[in-house]
């Protein structure tokens, strides 16, 4: 199954923490080992950055297309994950979208989901992150389609399978309109999570497509499954705690040495990575 990662760089001095690079490498290599091909969809600066780190070969392909976003009328500070939707719009379904901080350790049999959608887990909407439709105001006075189901649980898209082109197109087309026309004067988390996660559930309902969950929040955070690792919730701790980040990186090098010894040798010659390898690995 074809998959893709997304790397959008907006800052001239863009960089990733070492622990983020290690997770991205493992994510790409594990997908290739267990599930098929994976590409990195990025911009010129992102492609150059990964090349400078010596890790571009972890992906089957580097697709440089996100510079096209520079010409879109989107507030990328508010829609920081808009690049995921833009990248998705250019892919051929069926396809799997995976965040760079998400690892799939085992083979996923996605064929039974057919032309439907599968996401890592659903999210309840009874909180401030998911306000009702009156929260959103459009610059041109337009309204949401009347048929939208505002009670349906949202979709977490850290990993998302899209089984058919028609739902990709409908999801992306409205998302583009929303990000270009909604009033973001008071930029808020709710704008991004609505169009990325809540609209996907609404879109599927409009098209009479099923949404399958591959896991749940309880399973992911309680360690009751062996398929997935998502470090999103640990990122701030690793940014703030240098010792914890160093230990995490050392554990990553041990895993890479065990599962991908050729990559361990490659990384041992890389200035940013070699300090995390210990004798015997």
Segment 201-219, tens digit of pLDDT: 999 999 999 999 998 777 7
Q: Is the pLDDT of residue 280 over 60?
A: no
Segment 35-58, tens digit of pLDDT: 999 999 999 999 999 999 999 999
Q: Do residues 224 and 112 share a domain?
A: yes
Q: Do residues 114 and 250 share a domain?
A: no
Q: Do residues 167 and 185 share a domain?
A: yes
262: exposed, middle or buried (Cβ count in 10 Å: 0-12, 13-18, 19+) = exposed
Look at the chain and report how many structural domains it folds into. Answer: 2
Q: Do residues 108 and 145 share a domain?
A: yes
Q: Do residues 135 and 45 share a domain?
A: yes
Determine contact, residues 137/70, Cβ cutoff 8 Å. Answer: no
Q: Do residues 145 and 178 share a domain?
A: yes
Q: Do residues 99 and 225 share a domain?
A: yes
Residue 87: give its domain's CATH number: 3.90.550
- pTM tops 0.85, yes or no: yes
> What percent of the chain is modeled with pLDDT above 90?
77
State the residue range of the domain holding 260: 241-281
The CA distance from 126 to 93, in Å, is 32
Segment 93-140, tens digit of pLDDT: 999 999 999 999 999 999 999 999 999 999 998 777 898 888 999 988
Q: Do residues 101 and 216 share a domain?
A: yes
Give the model's pLDDT for residue 279.
65
Residue 222: pLDDT band with limits 50, 70, 90: low
Closest alpha carbon to 63 in 85, 76, 49, 46: 46
Nearby residues of 131 by Cβ (< 8 Å), 6 or more positions away: 190
């Amino acid at each position: 199954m074809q998959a893709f990662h997304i790397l959008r760089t907006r800052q001239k001095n863009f960089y990733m923490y070492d622990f983020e690079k290690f997770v991205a490498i493992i994510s790409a290599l594990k997908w290739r080992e267990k599930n098929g091909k994976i590409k990195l969809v990025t911009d010129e600066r992102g492609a150059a950055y990964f090349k400078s780190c010596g890790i571009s070969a972890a992906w089957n392909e580097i697709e440089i297309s996100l510079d096209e976003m520079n010409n879109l009328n989107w507030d990328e500070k508010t829609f920081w994950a808009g690049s995921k939707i833009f990248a998705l719009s250019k892919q051929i379904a069926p396809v799997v979208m995976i965040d760079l901080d998400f690892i799939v350790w085992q083979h996923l049999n996605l064929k039974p989901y057919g032309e439907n959608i599968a996401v890592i887990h659903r999210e309840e909407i009874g909180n401030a992150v998911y306000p009702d439709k009156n929260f959103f105001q459009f610059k041109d006075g337009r309204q949401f389609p009347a048929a939208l189901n505002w009670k349906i649980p949202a979709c977490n898209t850290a990993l998302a399978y899209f089984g058919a082109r028609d739902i990709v197109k409908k999801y992306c087309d409205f998302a583009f309109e929303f990000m270009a026309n909604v009033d973001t004067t008071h930029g808020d988390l709710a704008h991004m999570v609505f169009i990325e996660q809540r609209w996907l559930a609404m879109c599927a309902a409009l098209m009479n497509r099923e949404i399958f969950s591959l896991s749940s929040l309880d399973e992911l955070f309680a360690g009751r499954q062996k398929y997935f690792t998502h470090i999103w919730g640990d990122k701030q701790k690793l940014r703030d705690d240098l010792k914890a980040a160093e230990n995490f990186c050392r554990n990553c090098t041990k895993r890479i040495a065990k599962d991908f010894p050729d990559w361990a040798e490659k990384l041992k010659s890389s200035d940013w990575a070699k300090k995390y390898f210990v004798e015997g690995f």
